Amino acid sequence: MIKAVVFDMDGVLIDSEEVWSRVRAEVVARHGGHWTEDDQRNVMGDNSRQWSAYIKRTWNLPLSEDEIFREVLAMMITSYEHELPVLPGAHEAVALLGKRYPLGVASSSPRELITVALRLAGFADSFGVIVSSDDVAHGKPEPDVYLLAAERLGVLPADCLAIEDSTNGIRAAIAAGMKTIAVPNPVFPSAEEVLAQAALVLPNLLMLNESTIEAFSDDAS
């Protein structure tokens, strides 16, 4: 049975994948490179160490990996503070599931950015556990971030429901042994063969209602 729910943040609660792509493109262009949608897909799910290394390696920027990370992070925070794109249904889904289960976040974003985003979105007190992929050895699609979230929630991964959008995120949650609801990102769509492994696929969080959860809980148990 479900005992806790773990949300991804980027692409599930916050419509931020295009923001990430734009900010990385600006940083890379500033130093002589050219960021593409393929590059964005290549780093989706990566932790900060991984995507900073990718940028450094791909364009040999005249910055250290830490300097790349800091420049991107500062621009992301500025962008969020100017306008935070909360996805439709996010508040309703968090409120609905928070009445029933302990909630956690398992995000590839750095912890500082997660904290800023959740505060600005009005979710500061909604999640008992927040885990960044920077807290573990490997980002998504490895299951590390989800396994740590389950451990900190005090439940077995098999008793957790994960809500994800990306190919690598869905793979990570399933690899952790969690029941997974996929809410695919229309701009960076998930692979069909990965969506087929999810327990449930929804077009958006607005479709996550009492009936959906009741039916899903019955099926999962």
Report, as residue numbers or ranges, the catalytic residues. 8, 10
Total H helices, total E strands in the chain = 10, 6
Chain mean position to CA 174: 14
CA angle 123, 146, 54 (to 5 degrees): 95
Residue 44 is encoded by which pair of tokens? 């989706």
Residue 105 has phi, psi (to 5 degrees) of -120, 135
**DSSP code, position 139:** -
Q: Which residues touch 112 (CB under 8 Å, ≥6 apart)?
A: 73, 77
Integer CA distances (angstroms), 135 to 14, 70, 84, 139, in order: 20, 17, 24, 9
Cα atoms in the 13 Å half-sphere on the side-chain side of 60: 0
**d(Cα 103, Cα 56) in Å, to the nearest integer?**
35
Q: Can you tell me the distance from the alpha carbon of 127 to that of 125, in angstroms, rounded to the nearest whole number?
A: 6
